[in-house]
Amino acid sequence: MSRYSIFSLARNAISHHENWQRAWRSPTPKKRYDAIIVGGGGHGLASAYYMAKEHGLRNIAVLEKGWIGGGNTGRNTTIVRSNYLWDEAAQLYEKSMKLWEGLSQDLNYNVMFSQRGVYNLGHTLQDMRDIQRRVNANRLNGVDGEVVDAVELSKRIPHLNCSPDSRYPVLGASFQPRGGTARHDAVAWGFARAADALGVDIIQNCEVTGFRRENGEIQGVETSQGYIESPKVGVVTAGSSSVLADLAGLRLPIESHPLQAFVSEPIKPVLDTVVMSNAVHGYISQSDKGDLVVGAGIDSYNGYGQRGSFTTIEHTMAAIMELFPIFSRVRMNRQWGGIVDTCPDACPIISKTDIKGLYFNCGWGTGGFKATPGSGWVLAHTMANDQAHQLNAAFSLDRFISGALIDEHGAAGVAH
Ligand SMILES: Cc1cc2nc3c(=O)[nH]c(=O)nc-3n(C[C@H](O)[C@H](O)[C@H](O)COP(=O)(O)OP(=O)(O)OC[C@H]3O[C@@H](n4cnc5c(N)ncnc54)[C@H](O)[C@@H]3O)c2cc1C
């Protein structure tokens, strides 16, 4: 560390960070932009960043109704993997994985990407056959993966309950070594700072309340800060996507559900990987601070409340106790929920619409954090060229008319 940095650190420590340079500006909206992104989550910020960086569009705004990263981006359990079954999905998530692998350098911001590996447990013979099939399919797509049996698992994860006497005995797992976690807030902040540096206006507390269109073409958006004109609008609002679609006079095949997560009090390092189980419906990792980060399946009812029900909390805790009896005396500190936008085939929509210049990127359901860079990268291409990239061509709205669905329920499962 240079002498200058040490002095600067000391000065800022004494001044309570008052003199820290802001990481992004807080501009008032212009009257017109060449492109607007609605939603300042990770996907929206990444879309704006790649539009500016890869396609040279600089007159862009991201409009966020609250604060950036305050939606699912700041509420998720940060699991990153790319081991999806079908070619289309595996290639899209693998594109994202490759972007993750260089993201801290690209953004010059440490997103704390940690490739600690992800295990998806199998509890029945059918689970194990599905795991074998998925690992084979992954390898054909250049995605890393291996099948691990219960004996090997109990060596690698000593605290995992691999007893044949448990309610759902663990028979083995798929393992993706390049999978892992990233720091969710840092991802939003890193993309925001890098997009801002390329001239993107990030406007918080700016809710989009309507769309103006003429002759089938988008003209701009009504917002809580006034009307803003733009020939291209990308809607990237996750759990609120159907609300925004309704404002534009469209219907999306999406249901919004609460999805919950929990963190424990911090404890010493005890779990150095990510463990997920579709059968018992829970998954767990340990954060760098020491908290156990626990995730659930969706709450089954539809809703926009960012909370969820006690039944799911109880069910998930029982699942984690079954997998890791050693954690039975750890106290949980916090619980929260987000609103996830689920599609019938557990795959996203990254698509043009019937309104020229209006695009939707949504339907990531319980598992979109892992796709943040890739999702932004393909939406940027789609908006800049008014044409899908080959990586997202299959994820258009047309598939709900043609029936060419890409069923990823198996790989999504309890998801994440
Ligand atoms: C509890 C939980 C755990 C999860 N765990 C994982 C995981 O481990 N791994 C994984 O891959 N995925 C996970 N996910 C899913 C993942 O979080 C999401 O798929 C992803 O973060 C979606 O990103 P986004 O940027 O599209 O959405 P968001 O971050 O939700 O951003 C959308 C933004 O749009 C804004 N908005 C909404 N309406 C308007 C409007 N009218 N005007 C302006 N702005 C508006 C919202 O305020 C919000 O900030 C989890 C989700 C939850 C809730």
Contact 353, 367 (CB under 8 A): no
pTM of the model: 0.96
Residue 211 lies in a domain: yes
Atom of ligand 1 nearest to the CA of 260: 1
Q: Are 335 and 266 contained in the same domain?
A: yes
Q: Are 282 and 335 contained in the same domain?
A: yes
Q: How confident is the model at residue 13 (pLDDT cuts 50, 70, 90)?
A: confident
Contact 254, 246 (CB under 8 A): no
Q: Which residues line ligand 1 (CB under 6 A)?
A: 38-44, 63-66, 70-73, 75-79, 207-208, 236-238, 240, 244, 259-261, 295, 338, 340, 364, 366-370, 416
Closest residue to atom 4 of ligand 1, CA basis: 76
Residue 11 lies in a domain: no
**Average pLDDT over the chain, rounded to an integer:** 95
3-state secondary structure of 114: strand
Residue 411: is its pLDDT beyond 90? no
DSSP 279-304: TTTEEEEE-TTS-EEEEEEEPSS---
Cα distances (angstroms) measured from residue 398 to each of 218, 349, 351, 395 = 20, 10, 9, 8
Residue 90 lies in a domain: no
Q: Are 166 and 287 contained in the same domain?
A: yes
Q: Are 305 and 164 contained in the same domain?
A: yes
The pLDDT of residue 1 is 53
CATH of the domain at 126: 3.30.9.10
Residue 413: is its pLDDT beyond 60? no
For 113-157, how does the pLDDT look when each residue is reduced to its tens digit (9 = 90+)?
999 999 999 999 999 999 999 999 999 999 999 999 999 999 999
Contact 54, 377 (CB under 8 A): yes
- Tell how far the Cα of 6 is from the centroid of ligand 1, in angstroms: 37
Label residue 393 exposed, middle or buried (CB < 10 Å: 0-12, 13-18, 19+).
Answer: middle
- Tell how far the Cα of 63 is from the centroid of ligand 1, in angstroms: 15
- Tell how far the Cα of 4 is from the centroid of ligand 1, in angstroms: 39
Residue 199 lies in a domain: yes
Residue range 266-278: mean pLDDT, rounded:
96
Torsion of CA 324, 326, 329, 334, to 10 degrees: -40
Q: Are 168 and 283 contained in the same domain?
A: yes
- Identify the bridge partners of residue 84 per DSSP, sorted by sequence position: none
Q: Are 402 and 265 contained in the same domain?
A: no
The pLDDT of residue 410 is 80
- Tell how far the Cα of 162 is from the centroid of ligand 1, in angstroms: 34
Q: Which residues contact 338 (CB under 8 A, 6 or more apart)?
A: 71, 72, 75, 76, 238, 239, 258, 259, 261, 306
DSSP 206-254: --EEEEEEETTEEEEEEETTEEEE-S-EEE--GGGHHHHHHHTT---S-
Q: Are 327 and 368 contained in the same domain?
A: no
- Tell how far the Cα of 220 is from the centroid of ligand 1, in angstroms: 23
CATH of the domain at 67: 3.50.50.60
Q: For a substitution probing ligand 1, which of 116, 184, 185, 369 has the most ligand atoms within 8 Å of its CB?
A: 369
- Tell how far the Cα of 362 is from the centroid of ligand 1, in angstroms: 9
Q: Which tokens go with 17?
A: 């960070």
Domain boundary among 342, 368, 402: 342
3-state secondary structure of 308: coil
Q: For a substitution probing ligand 1, which of 76, 96, 283 has the most ligand atoms within 8 Å of its CB?
A: 76
Domain boundary among 297, 318, 342: 342
3-state secondary structure of 73: helix
Which structural domain, as residue segments, surrounds residue 162? Answer: 114-179+255-342
Domain boundary among 325, 342, 359: 342
Atom of ligand 1 nearest to the CA of 68: 49
Q: Are 331 and 352 contained in the same domain?
A: no
DSSP 378-407: HHHHHHHHTS--TTTGGGSTTHHHH-----
For 18-40, how does the pLDDT look when each residue is reduced to its tens digit (9 = 90+)?
778 899 999 999 999 999 999 99
- Tell how far the Cα of 341 is from the centroid of ligand 1, in angstroms: 9
73-83 residues labelled b (16+ CB within 10 A) or e (exposed): bbbbbbbbbbb
Q: Are 195 and 216 contained in the same domain?
A: yes
Residue 87 lies in a domain: no
Residue 7 lies in a domain: no
Atom of ligand 1 nearest to the CA of 81: 11
Residue 9 lies in a domain: no
Report the half-sphere exposure of 185 (CA within 13 A, side-chain side).
2
Atom of ligand 1 nearest to the CA of 371: 11
Atom of ligand 1 nearest to the CA of 247: 41
Q: Which residues contact 323 (CB under 8 A, 6 or more apart)?
A: 121, 160, 161, 170, 275, 277, 280, 282, 284
Residue 17: is its pLDDT beyond 90? no
Q: How confident is the model at residue 96 (pLDDT cuts 50, 70, 90)?
A: very high
Q: How confident is the model at residue 372 (pLDDT cuts 50, 70, 90)?
A: very high
Cα distances (angstroms) measured from residue 200 to each of 30, 100, 274, 317, 357 = 11, 21, 35, 43, 19
Closest CA to 348 of 374, 381, 384: 374
Torsion of CA 100, 102, 105, 107, to 10 degrees: -40
Q: Are 328 and 265 contained in the same domain?
A: yes
- Tell how far the Cα of 238 is from the centroid of ligand 1, in angstroms: 5
- Tell how far the Cα of 294 is from the centroid of ligand 1, in angstroms: 17
Q: Are 262 and 332 contained in the same domain?
A: yes
Q: For a substitution probing ligand 1, which of 227, 237, 342 has the most ligand atoms within 8 Å of its CB?
A: 237
The pLDDT of residue 125 is 96
Parallel, antiparallel, or unpaired for β 35-38 and 60-63? parallel
114: number of Cβ within 10 Å = 19
- Tell how far the Cα of 75 is from the centroid of ligand 1, in angstroms: 8
Closest residue to atom 51 of ligand 1, CA basis: 76
Residue 92 CA to residue 391 CA, distance in Å, equals 6
Residue 356 lies in a domain: yes
Q: Are 147 and 235 contained in the same domain?
A: no
Number of compact structural domains in the chain: 2
Residue 252: is its pLDDT beyond 90? yes
Label residue 6 exposed, middle or buried (CB < 10 Å: 0-12, 13-18, 19+).
Answer: exposed
Residue of higher predicted confidence among 409 and 260: 260
